[in-house]
Structure 1
Amino acid sequence: MAQTTLDVKGMHCGHCKMSVTNALKELDGVSNVSVNLEKGKAVVEYDETKVQFSKMKEAVEEQGYDVVGQN
């Protein structure tokens, strides 16, 4: 398992947090998601053989938020 932190812009409330969490959890290979609304971060644990950053970014952006970086 690997872990990455996505920098997400545009989240303002609990609904935003839930939208990002659910979008990432629906991806095959993602095992855990923890979103910090105040910091604009989403920590994702995933199987790198099943899902890549580009898919995570796309899933979040489809919800209307911007992924501006990855750590």
Structure 2
Amino acid sequence: MSTHTFRVEDIHCGGCESAIGKALTRLGGVSDVAADSATNQVTVRYDESQTSTEQIAERLATAGYPVIG
């Protein structure tokens, strides 16, 4: 298992945090998601044999939370 923290745009509230969690946990290999509206960061624990940081970033963007940098 690996852990990666993404900096994203537009996390405004608990609803946004929940939406991010739901979007990412539907992605195979993701076991834990912690989104923080105070810091605009999303920390994801995932199995690198099933998904990648690129796929996670794509899913974040599709959900409306594009990765910064």
Deviations 1:9-55 (A, max 9, x none): 11111111111111111110001111111001111111001000111
Question: Unpaired runs of 5+ in structure 1?
Answer: none
TM-score (norm 2): 0.92
Report runs of 4+ in structure 1 exceeding 3 Å deviation: none
Secondary structure in 1 aligned to 2:34? strand
Corresponding letter in the other structure for 1:26: R
CA RMSD of aligned residues (A): 0.9
Secondary structure in 2 aligned to 1:44? strand
Aligned residue-pair number: 69
Question: Unpaired runs of 5+ in structure 2?
Answer: none
Q: Answer 1 or 2: which has greater strand percent.
A: 1
Aligned to 2:5: 5
Identity of aligned residues (%): 33
Corresponding letter in the other structure for 1:9: E
